Chains A and B, each alone.
Chain A
Amino acid sequence: MNPDLELVNCCLAGNSQAQQQLYDRFAPPMLGVCYRYVQNVHEAEDVLQEGFIRVFRYLKDFRGDGSLEGWLRRIMVTTALNYIKSQKNFRAEFEITIAKEESAEELDALERMENAELMALIQQLSPGYRAVLNLYAIEGYSHKEIGEMLDIGESTSRSQYARAKQWLFKKLTHMHSIGSANGRTGSGK
């Protein structure tokens, strides 16, 4: 039997050890997912807690068609979206002043960046833009789906994603230039 399904069945039978095993296995990556949508770790833990309560409630609906991790991730994302939608500043805008397309330099900077550094960078985006960036670039939802999930138009999702990406590239360019300058300084010594 699929080990994921076996674990799910044990959880459904009320086996508390299996429930904790499921939690221990998936809580760290899921907290990473939650963290990408909210402002800080404390909020991310709140979302994770609500998400796992929901996971155990709906566990009987998991058929094993896809991966368990994918199913959990979807619930976490939806829970996180619910959370940020309930926040007052969800629809706050931020100014994007530059309109620069991505280039190989920014991608290079992105590649060399640590996971945590990138996440910290994404954290600086406002909740709405952060959600669109996460949903489109990372989770792989279409703009139409994102529009439905966030109650915004498809074109709004598209433009917000473009702006979020531009903002990110601006930051990456800045970091790249600092990195290059440091490199030049370092080689000069």
Chain B
Amino acid sequence: MEEQDLENNFEKLLREKADGFQLKPTAGVWTAVSNSLQSNKHKKRYLWLWAAAVGLLIGAGSATLYFLSDTDVKKTATITEITDQETTSKEIPLPDKQSIITEKEPSHNPETALQVNETKPLLPAAEKEAAPIHKKVTTTTGLKGASAILKSVTSKDAAIPDKAENGSLTFKYIQAADPSQASPQQQDNNNLSIMAIEPLPPSESKLAYENPVAVLQPSANQIPIPSFKPSRFSISGEITPLISWINYGNQSGLGLTSSDQLMADSVSSLNQSNSKPLIGFSTGISGSYRISERFALSTGFHFSKTGEKNQVLQSGLQDFYATEFGSVNNSGGGPTTAANSSETLASARYSWLDWSLKGEWFFYNHPLSRFSLSTGAGVSHFMKYTLSVPGNGEASIVNTSFFKNEQQPPVFHNYQLTGLAGLNYYHTISNHFKITTGLQFKYYLTSVTLSEIPVSAHPYWLGWNIGVVYGF
């Protein structure tokens, strides 16, 4: 009992003494803490900047798409009536694109100019005798070489395309024999309302009337039509300049109960806060199969170089190189200058051989230009790790095996799962060739344990690709 009391007294006394012990820290501690708080604020600000940049990109893309798809549907069109006596012009309002009614599928025959569907005669014989009035409809879009839909509200009148030029379409207007049959609105519009002028892909090229008495099929020399055909198979080569980062995390999640987790958190947060992006590239070839008008599957191989910059202590460089590389395949030799206590930026570069499979959805389809969103997954084989410190040499590990993790210590596992996404634009330059460009994003999904600490590292990059596509 007495022994227990003595022990309790010992601990109580020790606790009292310890609680009464204080030390005043030097000013540098608060400065460092304060700087860390500021850098966190900056990181949050950068996050907002990133979010704003992505938002801007999406907004700009959407606006581009909107205007590209709407260039031919203007709110007004100019009708110029050319008669022997006078030339008058007026602007008339056009309805929204939604109000355009797709007409019944015409019987296409591109070889025949202005062919009339014989089941519905264009005009009664008497009306054909009416003198045609030339009307010129000018779209203000500068639409180049496209076909068009032209709609008239009159059922008795007819508008026959005469010729098309860049940005304009001229047609013959044949007035009905009895204009009094037209509605008041039709009469207000000089018996003609242009409902819409819309470019169409070649496969849908046609002229249509709201209440068609005939469907007119223009010939190629009357209305120039792009002759590009969508390809079923294609191969492409591309190069993507990129900016890469590494996302550090705690494999076991956060928590204060496990000291290991806190250690991992501490290391990962330190790495994360010091991590800076590095410029790299990705290049390769891929093949694509278009399974429908709007969907395609593609697969390919790419060589990618990613990395990051991180702070290391000059004085710890010798240990750092030794820990990172040991004696394995160290082609660079390690640090060469005298160590000091200042920090310096080290560049870590990783080479990968990537295989990927992705799906692509074309949300804007046009013979000349197509936009798509793509997403997919892949496997990346870790090939080489190079660490370089300015003025302190360079060292590297080359992974010589496709099947085993031979490098010690493991920098990355032999294979990583990857996820990718992209916004792509294709521009047709000939029947077989397209050029492509767009924003690409790749994330290495597999967690990597660094040393003995459960810290995960996920490389990821954002790039802008440029490529050539050959379709057949």
Contact = CB atoms under 8 A, between A and B. Distances in A.
Contacts of A110: 10, 13-14, 17
A32 B22 contact: yes
Contact of B13 (A45, A52, A111): A111
A57 B269 contact: yes
A141 to B, nearest CB: 12
Contacts of A31: 22-25
A78 B256 contact: yes
Nearest to A53: B36
Contacts of B17: 110, 113, 115, 118-119
B258 to A, nearest CB: 8
Interface in A82-111: 82, 85-86, 101-104, 106-107, 110-111
A20 B34 contact: yes
A19 B35 CA distance: 12
B266 interface: yes
B10 A107 contact: yes
Interface string A35-50: 1100001001100111
Interface in A1-42: 14, 16, 19-20, 23, 27-29, 31-33, 35-36, 41
Chain B residues touching A, range = 35 or more
B257 to A, nearest CB: 8
Contact of A107 (B13, B37, B266): B13
B7 interface: yes
B26 A45 contact: yes
B266 A79 contact: yes
A66 B258 CA distance: 20
Contacts of A57: 40, 269
B18 A23 contact: no
B18 A52 contact: no
Contacts of B129: none
B262 A28 contact: no
A149 B21 contact: no
B407 to A, nearest CB: 24
B338 interface: no
B125 interface: no
A36 B21 CA distance: 10
A102 B262 contact: no
B356 to A, nearest CB: 36
B32 interface: yes
Interface in B206-257: 256
A105 B125 CA distance: 132
The secondary-structure label for the interface of chain A is helix
Contact of A50 (B34, B260, B266): B266
A49 B33 contact: yes
A32 to B, nearest CB: 4
Contacts of A178: none
Contacts of A118: 14, 17-18, 21
A27 B263 contact: no
A125 interface: no
B23 A44 contact: yes
Tell me which of A49, A81, A101 has the highest count of chain B C-beta atoms within 10 A of its own C-beta. A49
A159 B91 CA distance: 98
A137 interface: yes
Contacts of A36: 18, 21
Nearest to A133: B14
Given A27-B25, A104-B6, A54 B266 contact: yes
B21 A32 contact: yes
A115 B20 contact: yes
Contacts of B260: 151
A137 B10 contact: yes
A80 B269 CA distance: 17
B118 interface: no
A28 B25 contact: yes
A68 interface: no
B6 A107 contact: yes
B9 interface: yes
Contact of B30 (A20, A82, A119): A20
Contacts of B7: 102
B21 A56 contact: no
A189 B25 CA distance: 43
Tell me which of B19, B22, B32 has the highest count of chain A C-beta atoms within 10 A of its own C-beta. B22
Given A49-B29, A82-B259, A28 B22 contact: yes
A28 B24 contact: yes
B3 interface: yes
Nearest to A50: B266
B41 interface: yes
Interface string A143-154: 000001111000
A137 B14 contact: yes
Interface string B30-60: 1011101100110000000000000000000
B213 to A, nearest CB: 72
Given A32-B22, A56-B37, A115-B17, A23 B30 contact: yes
A18 to B, nearest CB: 11
A111 B14 CA distance: 9
Nearest to B2: A104
A131 B6 CA distance: 22
A101 B3 contact: yes
Given A75-B256, A85-B263, 4 more contacts: A23-B30, A32-B21, A102-B10, A115-B17
28 contacts: A16-B34, A27-B29, A28-B22, A29-B19, A29-B22, A36-B21, A41-B23, A45-B28, A48-B29, A52-B29, A54-B262, A54-B266, A56-B33, A75-B256, A78-B259, A79-B266, A81-B259, A82-B259, A85-B263, A102-B7, A107-B6, A107-B10, A110-B10, A115-B20, A118-B18, A119-B18, A136-B11, A151-B259
Interface of B: 3, 6-7, 9-11, 13-15, 17-26, 28-30, 32-34, 36-37, 40-41, 256, 258-260, 262-263, 265-266, 269
7 cross-chain pairs, A with B, having the tightest CB-CB distances, nearest first: A28-B22, A115-B21, A31-B23, A32-B21, A82-B263, A137-B11, A138-B18
